[in-house]
Each structure stands twice: as C-alpha cells, then as structure tokens.
Amino acid sequence: MQMTKINGKEYELKLTLSAVKYLNGKHDGGGFGLIQNALTGDVDTYIDIIYAGLMHTGENFTRKDVEKALDEMITNEELDLDEMNRTTYEIVAESFFYKKTVEKVFKEDKEIKKQIETLMK
C-alpha cells in the first residue's frame, strides 16, 4: 500500500473508477499511454497518479495542492526519482486494474520486464 503526505497528514493512495477515468483521460492512448509514461519516470505522470490516488479520500485536493506537497518533499530531500518510480510502478503496473495489461505488454520480452522490475523495486 502506497502512502503520501499532504499538509502533514498521510493518506493511502488507491485507484477508483474516478481515478482511472482521470488518468486514462490525461494520456494519449488512454491506459496504454499511462502505463508507458508511468514506466518511464515521467514527473507530470507521477503528479497525476498521486492526485488520482487521493480522489477516494473525499478531501477535494487540487492537483496544485499535490504539486505543492511534492515540491516540498523534493526540496526537503524526502522524495527522489527512485521513490517516484517505485510508487508509480506499484500504483499503476501492480494495481489490479492495470496489471494484466502490463503483463501482456512484457510477455514477449522477459528481459525488459526483469530490468524494469529491478529498477522499480
């Protein structure tokens, strides 16, 4: 279970239908575009994923709230690219909703799958 901190409080990140619709709508190619961007360490995609993962809280965070919190974590050296990659991988590639599709993408190239999994863990 992935967590993030906003305004000094920790929240669980999880995907709901609203979150999936938001994420798929943000990327050319829908879910496939999201998966691609999530696996490449794209920072804007990370922000989108954190924002979407917080939708279930009912706290009505804005994307700007999320960006501000992440900026503070980076500035305070609490968040780096490695952590972003691991979080993104867990929320997207290992989520129930996207996992089967990710597995199909990697089915033909076991070596790239192994490399990405090593990088994302």
For residue range 15-25, list pLDDT tens digits in order: 999 999 999 99
For residue range 59-77, list pLDDT tens digits in order: 999 999 999 999 999 999 9
Which among 17-26, 37-46, 81-90, 103-112 has the top mean pLDDT?
17-26
Residue 94 has pLDDT above 80, yes or no: yes
Interval 21-49 mean pLDDT: 91
pLDDT of residue 66: 95
Residue 107 has pLDDT above 90, yes or no: no
Residue 108 has pLDDT above 80, yes or no: no
- Report the 3 state secondary structure along 38-100: HHCCCHHHHHHHHHHHCHHHCCCCCHHHHHHHHHHHHHCCCCCHHHHHHHHHHHHHCCHHHHH
The residue to which tokens 């503070």 are assigned: 72
Contact present, 50 and 83 (Cβ < 8 Å): no
Range(s) of the domain holding residue 110: 2-120
Six token digits for residue 1 = 């279970």
pLDDT of residue 28: 87
Domain total in the chain:
1
DSSP for 1-50, please give it: -EEEEETTEEEEE---HHHHHHHHHTSTTHHHHHHHHHHTT-HHHHHHHH
Neighbour tally for 101: CB within 10 Å: 15
